[in-house]
Amino acid sequence: MSSYGRQTTSLVLYFNFHFFLSLFCYLPVPVVFSALSSNQQTTMIDLSNSLNASAGGALPWDVNKEPNPCSWKGVGCNSPTNSFVIRISLSGHSLSSSDFLPLVCWIESLQVLDVSSNRLTTIPPGFVSDCGKLGELKLLNFSMNNLVGPLPDFVGFSGLEALDFAQNNLSGSIGSELDGLVKLRSLSLTFNHFAGHVPTLLGKSKVLEELQLSANIFDGPIPAELVGYKNLTLIDLSGNRLTGSIPAWIGELAKLEVLNLSANKLSGGIPQSISNITSLWRFAANSNDFNEKIPGGITKHLKNLDLSYNKLNGSIPSDLLSAMNLQTVDLSNNRLDGPVPETLSPSLVRLRLASNSLDGKIPSAAIATHDKLTYLEMENNNLTGSIPPELGDCRKLALLNLAQNQLSGALPAKLGNLSSLEVLRLQSNNLSGGIPFQITQLPKLSILNISWNSLNGSIPPSVSNMQNLINMNLQGNKLSGSIPVGIASMDSLMELQLGENQLSGDIPRMPTSLRIALNLSSNLFQGPIPETLSSLSELEILDLSNNKFSVVSF
């Protein structure tokens, strides 16, 4: 009896289990789990109507086509049950009316609201007061709108971690509007018209990690209060009107990774304490008025350093360019003197030392082993000696600019090994000897400027190999002989400057690609002006002056 009973029970259980399985497998899942609360369902439909009105019917939310708001584009619900809305993204819908915003605050479970890239001009007061109560709200993105007026006063928003107002038209100074945001980790106010001092009340609990205030009109000094935000990893104050110097306490922000102070009016020196920040990999302080010597050691941990366009003086510290991780350094347009340091980091990709008063030789040993170096710019200095042939070993080199120095000696044939070279500028030096044919073997070269040197001999006939060359400037040398006939096939050539040499002979057919200029002035050409020049229909400047061309008389 009892055993029979047990059997029956298990039979029933078996059937139930099977029934459950078939429900699970064969009916559409959303029907089983469609559980967005009726409150949120109603709110979402109200929101959709409000948006539809302001977007003129352009919004892809249509409850008649898709009854479940969790499936609407830009809407995210909790998974897997889809029982409440956690994310609303209305980025890029050309919305200009803010009327819908207070409705959003009915969604208590909302974590992310992204209304970036619209045309909103105001934030209704009701939005701040109501949404401030949403304890789950973590991210508010109002970037790329047309918001005007002052920053709203944020009351509540106790869970807000990221606030983005970048690229609006907000103005006024900032006091305590943000201080209530106790969880704020990321703040962006870039590209607005905020003025006054850099805000310092950025969340009472000081957990801020990213502070982006670039491209405003903040003035005054870098405020000392910032040192209290020990979790800062990113500070971008670039493009403001900050004055004073960089405080030494910056070295106490031990988690800092990126520090951008470029394009301000900061002066004084670069603090040595920068070298204490082991996590700092990017530091830009270009386009300010820094006017002291660069301290040693500051690149110890850096990958990228930009100190260009300042008034830094003294010589470059011998260790500055040698740090193992260093990839890009820009010290151009300063008042640096003395030699280029002997040791360069093996990681260097870009080195810009242009427009200073550096002297001495280009350190050949330092340069020889640099297989990552891609951009080397040392123009407009006082460098002497010859161009080290070792530069030919920098296999990645795409740009070499040593123009406007006092370099002498020969143009090294080994530069012909630079198979990636696109731009070679060596003009306004004192180079002598001939143009080695190897230079014409550079397959990618598009700009060759070796004007205003003392190069002699003739133009190698192999120039016609340079099928990618756009500008060839050999002006102001001592070149003799005739122009190679093969020049006609240089199909990319748009500018040919051969003036002020001692060239002679017949003028060959010129490439029809010539556009910018053909300058043959001040040479020794004679005879009639060739008729073939008339086929250069796109040419803007043709200068044949100061030769001995014969005047055709009838």
Binding mask 227-266 for ligand NAG (x = CB under 6 A): ---xx------xx--------x--x--------x-x----
- Work out whether 278 is an interface residue with ligand NAG (CB under 6 A): no
- Work out whether 172 is an interface residue with ligand NAG (CB under 6 A): no
DSSP secondary structure of 207-229 = ---EEE--SSEEEE---GGGGG-
Total number of residues binding ligand NAG (CB under 6 A)? 65
**Amino acid at site 444:** K
- Work out whether 183 is an interface residue with ligand NAG (CB under 6 A): no
- Work out whether 457 is an interface residue with ligand NAG (CB under 6 A): yes
Minimal distance in Å, beta carbon 476 to ligand NAG?
A: 8
Identified binder of ligand NAG from the candidate list 41, 50, 116, 327, rule CB under 6 A? 116
- Work out whether 333 is an interface residue with ligand NAG (CB under 6 A): no
Tokens (6 digits) for 262: 């470029």
Tell me the H-state helices in 263-331: none
Q: Which is nearer to ligand NAG, 275 or 345 (CB)?
A: 275
- Work out whether 325 is an interface residue with ligand NAG (CB under 6 A): no
Q: Which is nearer to ligand NAG, 341 or 530 (CB)?
A: 341
Q: Which is nearer to ligand NAG, 11 or 224 (CB)?
A: 224
Q: Which is nearer to ligand NAG, 293 or 361 (CB)?
A: 293
Whether residue 82 contacts residue 35, with contact meaning beta carbons closer than 8 Å, is answered with: yes
Instruction: Find, among 45, 118, 114, 31, the residue nearest to 76 by Cα.
Output: 114
Three-class DSSP labels, 463-497: HHHCCCCCEEECCCCEEEECCCHHHHHCCCCCEEE
- Work out whether 350 is an interface residue with ligand NAG (CB under 6 A): no
Residue with tokens 């009639």: 528
Identified binder of ligand NAG from the candidate list 200, 313, 420, 513, rule CB under 6 A? 313
Minimal distance in Å, beta carbon 112 to ligand NAG?
A: 8
| Cis peptide upstream of residue 80 (ω within 30 degrees of 0) | yes
Within a 13 Å sphere around the CA of 99, how many CA atoms are in the beta-carbon half?
12
Whether residue 495 contacts residue 474, with contact meaning beta carbons closer than 8 Å, is answered with: no
- Count Cβ atoms below 10 Å from residue 191 Cβ, excluding itself: 19
Torsion on CA atoms 379, 382, 385, 387, rounded to nearest 10: 0
Q: Which is nearer to ligand NAG, 9 or 308 (CB)?
A: 308
Helix (H) or strand (E) holding 51: helix 38-54
In this chain, which stretch among 11-19, 54-62, 486-494, 504-512 interacts with ligand NAG, using CB under 6 A?
Answer: 54-62
Instruction: Find, among 525, 432, 424, the residue nearest to 478 by Cα.
Output: 432
Identified binder of ligand NAG from the candidate list 332, 427, 465, 477, rule CB under 6 A? 427
Strands of 337-338's sheet, edge to edge? 337-338, 357-360, 382-383
Minimal distance in Å, beta carbon 277 to ligand NAG?
A: 9
> What are the residues binding ligand NAG (CB under 6 A)?
49, 52, 56-57, 62-63, 91, 114, 116-117, 141, 143-144, 146, 162, 164, 169, 186, 206-207, 214-215, 230-231, 238-239, 248, 251, 260, 262, 272-273, 276, 282, 284, 291-293, 304, 306, 313-314, 357, 382, 392, 406, 408, 413-414, 416-417, 427-428, 430, 432-433, 438, 447, 449, 451-452, 456-457, 471, 473
